[in-house]
Structure 1
Amino acid sequence: MPRFPDGQVRDVTPPANARKSAVAVVIGSSPEPSVLLTLRSTRLGHHRGQLSFPGGRIEDGETASEAALRELWEEVGIARTHVRVLGKLSPFYTPPSNSAIEPVVMVCADRLECMLNYDEVEEAFWVSLEELLGSAVERIWELPYGTMIVPQWLVHPRVPLWGATAVILSELLVLYEGWLSQRATPSASTPTDQH
């Protein structure tokens, strides 16, 4: 979650009329863990020309996972049969589009090729999670309910990665760091050599 200048982390509850949305946070596990990002079309109404995860509105009768899988197919041509849903990150509200976003984490074996729907997406690319760790700079984000400090990454030659996508990504990276830490720590039940 984003921090406010006073150092507090606050849950921002969306209003009742917020648009329910889902994004697909896709991790390609080979050759190294990487996350899929898109550059949104400049023709879109909200967040145009920004870096984001594939995603959009949750339709009536859909779960967040179903919506994220559908949007993944519609925007970048990755079929649900090529990914496995792992779970969800913390929901996040973004006032500019009045969207209550549910980030759905998915994994695929490789960095899959994308077939772009250019009405919605101008580019799609993979970024190594290792490259993202520790490379963020902080940016002040002015919002109706306060000023927040959010991370920003420079992963694209023209467009910074910031805003809601950066907040969601920062939570993913915290979990990834925890996973790396667990892998690096020998299990208490691992036998040790005694001489």
Structure 2
Amino acid sequence: MVQTGGLTRARIESRLRAFDAVTVPLADRRAAAVVIAVMRGEGDVPVFPLTRRPATMRAHAGQFALPGGRLDEGESARDAALRELREELGVAVGPENVLGRLDDYVTRSGYVMTPFVVWSDDTVGALVPNPDEVALVHAVPLDELDVPTEYATLPGSPEAVACWPFRGEHIHAPTGAVIHQFCEVVLHGRATRVAAFAQPSFAWR
């Protein structure tokens, strides 16, 4: 397991700069962006916020998620990622805090999702979750990421589904795929691709 206490902004940025992220054409799909926001947890341990969506939401209710959403008209993916981070969790950072990006990921619900990694000097205690979009926030230490991704068979899914184990539960692709790639690229310096990670049927809607 990689020790992340010395995982500085410069080291994360260096790993992402060395990674050749894949860009996927939109075609007839819609554009979205998500964020892994590296912040300070207890004892200045690097953490990132992982949210759980309210059970009342129309789409993907009750699911684990990274801050993010669809692009507004004329908006870049980077700007959408920063806007969603601010709207969902009250974290305001500028473009200079974007450390890099990971591969575009095509979701079964019809989106091309671009993941960005940003740095914030705020602590997770400063988060202000938007109750309309966030039911719960987990502050996940980066050393908790370094666990093997598992594959499971789920009803309604024709192929094995990749899932990231998390505190007795499993986070499936696409969110689980983004977290897995972040771990591979940033913690290990490996250019691991995740486009082939299957998604459960409930993520298709």
Q: 1:160 aligns with which of 149, 165, 170?
A: 170
Q: What is the aligned partner in structure 1 of residue 68 from structure 2? A: 55
Q: 2:27 aligns with which of 7, 13, 16?
A: 16
Q: 1:84 aligns with which of 93, 97, 108?
A: 97
TM-score normalised by structure 2 residue count: 0.70
Shift of 1:75: 0.8
Q: What is the aligned partner in structure 2 of residue 150 from structure 1? A: 162
Select between 28-37 and 166-175 the one with higher mean Cα deviation. Answer: 28-37
Shift of 1:83: 7.8
Shift of 1:108: 1.6
Aligned 1:118-137 pairs, distance under 5 A: 118-134=131-147, 136-137=149-150
Shift of 1:137: 3.1
- Aligned residues of 2:147 and 2:165 also touching (Cα < 8 A): no
- Aligned residues of 1:43 and 1:120 also touching (Cα < 8 A): no
The 1-side partners of 2:150 and 2:38 are apart by: 22
TM-score normalised by structure 1 residue count: 0.73
Q: Between the two proteins, what is the percent identity of the paired residues? A: 29
Q: 1:27 aligns with which of 38, 54, 61?
A: 38
Structure possessing the higher radius of gyration over alpha carbons: 1
Q: 2:50 aligns with which of 37, 41, 60?
A: 37
Unaligned segments of structure 2, at least 5 residues = 1-21, 190-205
Give aligned pairs, total. 165
Unaligned segments of structure 1, at least 5 residues = 1-10, 180-195
Aligned 1:62-81 pairs, distance under 5 A: 62-81=75-94
* CA-atom RMSD in angstroms: 2.9
